[in-house]
Amino acid sequence: MTVDFSEGFRPPEMVKLRLAVVLSPNMRARPGLCTVVPLSLTPPERETPFAKLLKVPFELPKRWGDQERWIKGDMINAVGFHRIDLLRLGKSKEGKRLYQTSALPPEAFNLVKRCVLHGLGLSSLTKHLRTAI
Residue 7 has a pLDDT of 83
Residue 127 has a pLDDT of 81
Pick from 116, 80, 86: nearest CA to 7: 80
Q: Distance between CA 37 and CA 78 in Å, rounded?
A: 9
46-95 residue pLDDT tens = 989 999 999 988 888 888 888 889 999 999 999 999 888 998 988 999 99
Q: Distance between CA 105 and CA 42 in Å, rounded?
A: 23
Domains of the chain with CATH codes: 2-128 (2.30.30.110)
8-35 residue pLDDT tens = 888 888 888 899 999 988 888 888 899 9
